[in-house]
Amino acid sequence: MKEISNKNNLQVLHEDNHIIVVNKRVGDIVQGDKTGDKPLSEVVKEYIKEKYSKPAEVFLGVVHRLDRPTTGIVVFARTSKALTRLNELFKNRETQKTYWAIVKNKPANPTDKLVHYIKRNEKNNTSKAHIKEVPDSKLASLDYTVFKELNNYFALEINLHTGRHHQIRAQLSAIGSPIKGDLKYGFDRSNPDGGIHLHARKLVFIHPVTKDVLSITAPVPNEVIWNAL
């Protein structure tokens, strides 16, 4: 795995003429929003412009997003052709997404499949996981395995089957195992950095142009609990 750093402390996991994959940090927003904070997409554009001495505006397509308090893999398209094909891949769920999460309350089962109906609340930007279908809800499923027991915490590996708003956070909260630091979903206190212990660990997908199978893994943040893994 190749890692590159620049003045913006950007960690690049994969880079070619068509795509660039970075390891998002806590607090980074992938795309601009009402906060007006500088998004990760602009940081990546600056990196490309500087590295390749591009005089003109740099094209960069946002393919998917991660919640601001989470960390891990984010893919950007460097060409319009790559963007169109990546959008289709993600829309049709032709990707394998693996996340790691740290929880305090051990789930009842060491491994399980969770199926809920997620309903989003636009007003407070949360989602609730319901056992049965409710109006305006969407089916959400994932499977998890408890892969390590730490002091006071448990590490889960999660394979995501659908991509609903705050899905992992809402589903783990629904089974009584909210993610460390996630006040919004029932954890009792925040993390010092304002983030939560949810990390987009691995992504497997077909390259939009070369058609090679790419398997990309993101190192966990340099933090005490993550380092224990």
Q: Per residue in 1-41, pLDDT tens?
A: 444 444 457 999 999 999 999 999 999 999 877 777 899 99
Q: What is the pLDDT of residues 109-165, one digit of tens each?
A: 999 999 999 999 999 999 999 999 999 999 999 999 999 999 899 999 999 999 999
Measured distance CA(177)–CA(186) in Å, rounded: 9
Which amino acid is located at 70 in the chain?
A: T
pLDDT for 8: 55
Give the angle 31-178-33 at the CA atoms, nearest 5°.
Answer: 15
pLDDT for 33: 78
Identify the three-state secondary structure at position 159: strand
Measured distance CA(36)–CA(32) in Å, rounded: 7
The average pLDDT across 62-73 equals 96
Token code pair at residue 26:
């806590």
The average pLDDT across 77-94 equals 96
